[in-house]
Homo-oligomer: A and B are copies of this chain.
Amino acid sequence: MKSVHIGICGLGTVGSGTLNLLQRNAQLINPRANCEIIVSQVGARRDNPNCDTSSLQVSRDIFDVAKNPEIDIVVELIGGTTVARDLVMTALENGKHVVTANKALIAEHGMEIFATAEQRNLMVAYEAAVAGGIPIIKGLREGLAGNRVNWLAGIINGTTNFILSEMDSKGREFADVLSEAQQKGYAEADPTFDVEGIDAAHKLVILASLAFAIPLDTQPVFTDGITQLHPQDVAYARELGYAVKHLGIARRTDEGVELRVHPTLVPQSCLIAEVDGVLNGVMVSADAVGTTMFYGPGAGAAPTASSVVADIIDVARAMHSDPQSWVPALGVPTAAIKPCRILDIQEIETSFYMRFSALDKPGVLSNITRIMADASISIEAIIQREQPATEEYVNVIILTSVTRESALDAAVERIEALDTVRDSVTFIRVEHLDQ
């Protein structure tokens, strides 16, 4: 059995998890890779007490690993997009295959990295970059390769899903759950990347590129976080038969591709509504297979290491074979990746949940429904409760039929201009995820 030498850069959570997994399951992993996988070097600024590097060559300079002539595969687990990009490019320039868990790096610099790898007959694998331990990259790129994908929708950030699950099941406020999540280690000290949807947007870009053979580009993704979400909307949604999830959605339409990350009402009867806590779930709907879902832990040392090691096995097994036989990083050669029009959020068509506070007197609701009718927006459901006589204003909740967001926006503007409506109109997009 021949040997394949790997170098691991970064000994944080994922790096130590990967090293531990390779050591623990070596007897299982080597026959699956059809070679002996040897960790020849580790590059890390400091040791990690969660793993044993005593028998390994450890360098404080990760670039030593990228240049080590003995190493076949460089495993980039340092995170970030500056040094990580330099490291990966250095590894490729030195003839190393690359395995990475870095979603930001792939989303932002993937095209350059994959093109370089292709020119040099090297592989870059990144299963761990999306949805942690769930093999969604392989499932989408290879398992569903016979299909034309129609849309995909994923809970691809465990932190936001944990917060939303708590808000839903316990009626808690966003800020309150966030601070608990930070204490538990589910959320970073600076949670912006997660709660504003930036992390999800990175992952969505990768999934959309695989699904539609479009270039990796984070710029046109509409991204809205969960920081403004109010518990009462989560509660009204539940009353209407929906759960609120923070979804990354990519959909192919006749006019272009939708790419958007935002809080979304999904029917409780839809399986993804049941994906709770820090777990992830990605639905893929395609012309032949219909609708599928891939579910599991989307983060953490061991699940992420699971995907990193799967990539190491794939690369180690195939690296000495004809590069023409390799699965291209994005499913097709980079030359076959073609830009397409990405729709502006104003152009998308979906249903909407609306909430506003209206004066509780005759004729008010009639004005509002008139505005909706003028905009050709049908009302699918409405909630307005009887109020105590002392309350001047009443909450009105509306679920609309499918409409263009620009039409909804125009209607919202007219409603907000009414004297009888207080404050602004809250609206949340609704997806039925049924076709």
Contacts and interface: CB of A to CB of B under 8 A. Distances in A.
Interface of A: 17, 21-22, 24-25, 28-29, 31-34, 127, 133-135, 138-139, 142-148, 213, 271, 274-275, 286-297, 300, 302-303, 305-310, 312-314, 317-322, 324-325, 327-328, 331-333, 336
Contacts of A22: 146
B314 A289 contact: no
Given A25-B148, A306-B146, A325-B320, A275 B286 contact: no
B293 A21 contact: no
A327 B326 CA distance: 12
A143 B310 contact: yes
Contacts of A312: 146
Contacts of A309: 145-146, 288
Contacts of A127: 143
Contact of A295 (B34, B295, B300): B295
B290 A293 contact: no
Given A135-B144, A142-B138, A143-B139, A322 B324 contact: no
A313 B146 contact: yes
A303 B317 contact: no
B291 A296 contact: yes
Contacts of A33: 145
A208 B296 CA distance: 20
A420 to B, nearest CB: 42
B296 A292 contact: yes
Given A31-B332, A143-B127, A297 B302 contact: no
Contact of A142 (B21, B291, B314): B314
A331 B288 contact: no
Contacts of A289: 133-134, 296-297, 302-303, 306-307
B143 A138 contact: yes
Contacts of A297: 289-292
Contacts of A320: 322, 324-325
A28 B133 CA distance: 28
A324 B4 CA distance: 14
14 contacts: A17-B288, A21-B288, A25-B146, A25-B147, A32-B331, A138-B139, A142-B314, A145-B309, A146-B306, A288-B303, A292-B297, A294-B295, A317-B324, A321-B324
Contact of A324 (B25, B34, B302): B34
Contact of A146 (B21, B146, B318, B325): B21
The 6 A-B pairs at the shortest CB distance, nearest first, are namely A135-B143, A146-B309, A292-B296, A321-B325, A133-B289, A288-B306
Contacts of A34: 324-325, 328, 333
Contacts of A292: 133-134, 294-297
Contacts of A327: 317
Residue among A146, A317, A331, A336 with max Cβ neighbours from chain B (10 Å): A146
A412 to B, nearest CB: 34
Nearest to A28: B148
Given A287-B25, A332-B32, A135 B139 contact: yes
B290 A146 contact: no
Contacts of A310: 142-146
A133 B319 CA distance: 29
